[in-house]
Structure 1
Amino acid sequence: MPVVRKTHPARPAKPEKRARRGNCNMKRSMTKPKPAAESGRTPMDEALRFLGGRARTVREVERRLDACEFGEVEVYETVERLKDLGLLNDISYAEQFVQTRLSTKPVSRAHLREQLMQHEVDRDALERALLLVDEETETGSARAVAQKYARQGERLPEDERKEFVLKRLMARGYSYDAARSALEQALGGGEDA
């Protein structure tokens, strides 16, 4: 005899979540709140609130202020003022991003470039930050990643373990040759090197 599941009566659709306080993204709210420009907040207030959580790029702040429907001149003046105050600097953002990324979850130089481009960092700032990643740094980070994944895959057969480590290295943006070299060092006794 087949088991018949009891179905729940149709539930009414849940309304969209309300926008967070201070969020100018009006797509999220059901009732359209007043844009920040009409609510009495200045572009500087909104920018400082946005920068309060973490460092941002110039383009991220511009997008935020545009979403709040501030005028082009107001946005430009606010961004320039933030730059003058030292609160907005793409070069320091990019350098800090690279240093943090290399110390927490190492990836290749190419992968870092892609990530910085996703944050819309200025091209000059991007290139300057990537100067921190020389060949030796990239080789060392690839070796550290290979050692980490080699330890994780200890119980796998040797061929599967190599494939596991190689795939993880390539997923982090390392070239096949760099990944292969790091793999050989990690599995071939180069762990103390």
Structure 2
Amino acid sequence: MKDGQQDGMLTITAVEQDRKERYRYQLFVNNGQEEPYLTVHEDIMIRFRLLKGREIHTDELKQIIEEDTQHRAYALGLVYLGARQRTHKEIARYLSRKGIDEESSEKAIQRLIQEGFVNDAAFAKQFASERVRNHMKGRLLLQQELRQRGIPKETVQEALKRIDKTEEAEAAIRAACKKWPYIKGEPIDRKRKLATFLLRRGFPGSIVKEAIQAAITQEELAEEWHMLDN
């Protein structure tokens, strides 16, 4: 919207489709400006019947602008969700970067939540499970990563409770066995370095001990098979 808005009525003198954004329309009014006074999404144009000759009071214009901003926030949120599932906080940050005000952003997010597109609890549960299984990370690191994504503390704790401890231990063993052959030094130093590596990946101490022993056992078995082959 352009500056110079006056109290009273405005009359739409022309409506043109925006050449850059297919579903948006430019509204020209009787204020003597050659550039469009306002651009709105076609859904807003239809809802408010913004056609040539339509008179708009400045109070109604404010409502139209708010509705259009909320619609844009909702559309941007849907596009952002197209790549992967997002959290409430991630979408809020994204919309802020796009210049959407906080109130419009929150209304759009609440609509996305109601329609089932945004669900922090489901996100946390799926995120934790996939990170353990595919990225070999433990619950302590997952807690940090989920909090960084804006997931409430209580929701994070609930998601971590659902992590299968056996699956987490298997992930730690896979990570340990993969890392162990590349660690050099005396046995005690190798164990210490591996323990540090696993702790940084968020695995609890009890699982770290189990994983280290599994890595050592695997190496010993490999050496025994090598001796038998020779």
TM-score bracket for the superposition, by shorter chain length: 0.5 to 0.7
Given candidates 55, 58, 61, the residue that maps to 2:88 is 58
Q: Is the 8 A contact 1:162 1:183 kept in 2?
A: yes
Q: Which has the higher Rg, Structure 1 or Structure 2?
A: 2
Name 1:141's counterpart in structure 2. Answer: 171
| Counterpart residue identity of residue 110, structure 1 | L
Q: 2:192 maps to which residue?
A: 163
Unmatched segments (≥5 aa) in structure 2: 1-64, 222-230
Give, as a single letter, the amino acid of the residue that structure 1 aligns with 2:143.
R
Residue in structure 2 matched with residue 172 of structure 1 by the alignment? 201
Matched with 1:115 is 145
Q: Which consecutive segments of 4 or more residues in structure 1 shift more than 3 A?
A: 37-41, 155-161, 175-178, 189-192
Aligned-residue sequence identity (percent) comes to 25
**2:162 counterpart residue number:** 132
State which of 67, 72, 75 in structure 2 corresponds to 1:45.
75
CA shift in 2, pair 1:128/1:177, >3 Å: closer
Q: Distance in 1 between matches of 2:97 and 2:130?
A: 29
Structure showing greater relative contact order (alpha-carbon pairs closer than 8 Å, 6 or more residues apart): 1
Q: Where is the helix percentage greater, Structure 1 or Structure 2?
A: 2
Q: Report the Cα distance in structure 2 between the residues aligned to 1:191 and 1:92, rounded to whole angstroms.
A: 42
Q: CA RMSD in A?
A: 3.0
Preserved CA contact (<8 Å) 2:169 2:207: yes
2:211 to 164, 168, 182: 182
Matching residue of 1:9: none
Gaps of 5+ in 1: 1-36
Alignment of 1:8-19 (within 5 A): none
- Whether the 8 Å contact between 2:177 and 2:218 is mirrored in structure 1 is no
Partner of 2:90: helix, strand, or coil?
Answer: helix
Please give the TM-score of this superposition, normalised by the length of structure 1. 0.67
Q: What is the aligned residue count? A: 155
Quote the residue 2:108 is aligned against.
78
The amino acid that maps onto 1:181 is: E
